[in-house]
Amino acid sequence: MSPREFEKILNVSFNDGDLLVQALTHRSYINEQNDESLTDNERLEFLGDAVLDFVVADMLFDAFPDMAEGELTRLRSGLVRTESLAELARSLRVGEFLRIGKGEENNGGRERTNNLCRAFEAIIGALYIDSGLEAVREFLTPHLNALQSLVMEEALHKDARSRLQEWSQANLNVTPHYRLVATSGPDHNKEFLIEVVLGSEAVASGRGRSKQAASQAAAAAALALIKAGRFDQETED
């Protein structure tokens, strides 16, 4: 697949197509080529990381004028963490267009979280050099808005598992267990269904775009049942 095809997926047109090619070039690809003119994406990744931090901080500063600095920092960290950026990369099919070495590819390099995150950062760095900050902001905003909703939803439920564990150990003398029930969707946009088990009974389930998010949703659902008085406390271990 060509970089020009990838531009259509990104909905971005580079003035200098070589920058996009470099952004998609993993170090392992360089190591297997006999061409000293080739450059990997690590410098672009460094720049893109800094640009991302600024754009995200600026967006959150404007969107939440009453939010405290500590909360802004936590939300920004959630948006730019490796797993979050890798999810964005998967949604844009970055792995399909990566130039990686054969060894790296055989070891699952196209779906490796770190590779995807770094490539996404490199693409941001390349776009910044090619077209400036406003182009980066225009490209990122819809993706960050969607990601922000997911991150904030996870943040709202971040203590659900610990609260459920405290309740179940105090009232049932058991520790909750979580098991994967099903996955659906393509590799770049999977959804997980996980149920929470207390003793021998599956009491609730939850869905999410990561196993962690799905298990938090399941715990939150179980807590809602408990609060509503719809949970049988005679569960046996």
Which are the catalytic amino acids? 49, 121
Q: Look at residues 139, 138, 137, 97 and name the one whose alpha carbon lies nearest to residue 119.
A: 97
Instruction: Write b or e for each residue in 136-157: b if 16 or more Cβ atoms lie within 10 A of its Cβ, otherwise e.
Output: bbebbeebbeebbebbeebeeb
Report yes or no: 95 and 131 within 8 Å, Cβ to Cβ. Answer: no
Interior/surface letters 182-196, b for 16+ CB within 10 angstroms, e for the rest: eeeeeebeeebbbbb
C-beta of residue 22 within 8 angstroms of C-beta of residue 44: yes
| 108, two tokens | 């699952």
Coil vs helix vs strand at 20: helix
- 22 close to 39: Cβ distance less than 8 angstroms: yes
Both tokens of residue 42?
A: 């690590």
